[in-house]
Amino acid sequence: MKKQKVIFICIHNSARSQMAEAYLKHFTCNKFAVYSAGLEPGTLNPTVVEAMKLEGIDISGNKTNSVEEFIDGHIKFDFVITVCDETSAELCPYFPGQGERLHWGFKDPSAIAGNSGDKLKQTVVIRNEIKERIKKFLEEL
């Protein structure tokens, strides 16, 4: 059986797409080929790293990737999933090629204001939303 290929895309590849990638890998024991990328790759969000660590998932060694690395078509994705928050006027990047297109809108943890405790608390809420959406995705397959 061939591994299904999934890419999660957002703006900076520093938070939401990283969490989605990590959860899909975690829940499927790497039975999927999973990637994540951003339109303007930034640096990994330390609050997201901390929130995932609370789940026992270490993403601290992950790097952020640009969608440009995947646009040439060398990987044929089965699913292209955008995770940006269009309700906050975020524009999700266009990704050419084949594959089923899905959009899951999540608030951007990088946009959370407040002290580090407030940021972590709100990031955990977003993390849990992403975790539940990944579980639902797997149930629907």
pLDDT tens for 29-60 read 979 999 999 989 989 999 999 999 999 999 99
Catalytic residue among 6, 7, 9, 10: 10
Annotated catalytic residue 84: yes
From 49, 84, 120, 134, the catalytic residue: 84
Q: How far is CA 134 from the centre of its chain?
A: 10
Structure tokens at 85: 């928050």
29 is catalytic: no
Token pair, residue 54, equals 């609370």
Kindly report the pTM of this predicted structure: 0.94
